[in-house]
Structure 1
Amino acid sequence: MNVNQLVNMITRMFVRKAVNGGIRAGMNAMSTPDSAGRGQPRKKQGGGQGPKMDTKRARQAMRMARRASKF
């Protein structure tokens, strides 16, 4: 085993730990409802247009998903 292989092996170990830690932290942040203020309900916007705003947001999300899937 030469020095290059040893360096690669040790680097892979550190990178794997860092990536796993980041993924774990992100999943924990997404799973807790009170993190980053996501626990409070948002105020209604649009002056009582409830279902219309939901439909508009759904269409907008579909357009964005189509754009993102092109790449």
Structure 2
Amino acid sequence: MNLNRLLNIVINTVVRRLVNFGINKGVGYASRKGGAKTADHGQARDARALAKRARKAARITRRLGR
């Protein structure tokens, strides 16, 4: 591989992570701005935990697929 291709790989990875981080923060901000009731906080926490487990499972399956 040449240097240009390596730089593109690194830059694309960094940009992808930053964009995903920004999207997650924006969606989280928008969902909090709706003013969840106190009873919904527990459900929201459970939903975030479930999403985290789903991301981990997707990451593992991608690793196994290699």
Larger Rg: 1
The two structures share one fold, judged by TM-score above 0.5: no
Which has a greater percent of helix? Answer: 2
Higher relative contact order (CA 8 A, sep 6+): 1
Indicate the TM-score class for this superposition, using the shorter chain for normalisation.
0.3 to 0.5
